[in-house]
Amino acid sequence: MSGGDLGIEPASFWSENSELLKAIASLAIWFVVAFVVDRWFAARGRKLAGRVLRGGISQQADTRLRFVRRLVWLTIVLLGIVTTIGQFAGLGQLAASLLASGALAAAIIGFAARQTLANLVAGIMLAITQPLRVGDWVTFEENYGVVEDVRLNFTVLRTLGEQRIVIPNERLASGILRNDTLETDAVGLDVQLWLGPTVDVERAVAALREQTDQTVQVAESTVEGVRLTVGGERVAPRERPQREAELREACLARLRTDGLLPA
């Protein structure tokens, strides 16, 4: 069946839809370019960085490479979209009229994209300042795990139970973060114990020192009781939660055995 039988001439179809077809082809090319550059970064970026640094790629360099790779991909895609839209004369005139209308369109777009842009800017700041890096063991809002990835809008935290916690970059940048591997490969144990106001504190401290062979100190004293800190031993970050749980259980068991806590 020919094009004439369908009532559609190939030449007329091309002339009527040339802008659309060119735009689709142009956008496809831009996506191919973005994909090729992204694959190049994945395959060659780490090798080149390792050669330049002459000691293997560091956590800092790895985190920056991951972020730059995704930022370059996003830039290429956005450039392709803008270029494609510019090929439509009608859309170009519409865009000009919207821009001429002034601040209203900008305000609407800015409000709609505020969260996305805030996360992107926060991600850039995290990649530059690096309070956390890929491979670091961190605590954020009672979630403890290893930083698996730092992406454009969010960071992925993998817990000891192999769960993935997705944290928006803006929230991460403005929150309180504990990083156990920022400057060292080991972290000290730190267990907090509260004793009632009637408990013999000196006896409790002596018993815990004997039981755990750890540093035991009075951290705080209030009308409601006394807070003790127990710890000091340095362990690998991955082992910290389990070792602190074991230390806490040993302390409570000793205090119960000595009659300082109810059984």
Stated length of the chain = 263
Q: What percent of the chain has pLDDT over 90?
A: 26
> Do 27 and 108 belong together in one domain?
yes
Position 4 in a domain: no
* pLDDT class of 108 with cuts at 50, 70, 90: low
Domain around 145: 133-179
Per the domain annotation, does 55 fall within a domain? yes
What pLDDT was estimated at residue 228? Answer: 94
Residue 122 lies in a domain: no
pTM of the model: 0.59
- Cα separation, 229 vs 142, whole angstroms: 19
Question: Is residue 232 in a domain?
Answer: yes
Based on the domain organization, do 44 and 79 belong to the same domain? yes
pLDDT tens profile 177-221: 999 888 788 888 999 999 998 999 999 999 999 999 899 999 999
Residue 156 · residue 214 · CB < 8 Å:
no
Q: What are phi and psi of 191, to 5 degrees?
A: -110, 135
| Residues 57 and 89 grouped into a single domain | yes
Higher pLDDT pick, 222 / 56: 222
**At 142, which CATH number?**
2.30.30.60
47 and 31 fall within a common domain: yes
Each residue of 10-37: pLDDT tens digit?
A: 556 566 666 667 777 888 888 888 888 8
- The predicted-structure confidence for 46-71, as pLDDT tens digits, reads as follows 666 555 445 556 666 677 777 777 88
| Domain count along the chain | 3
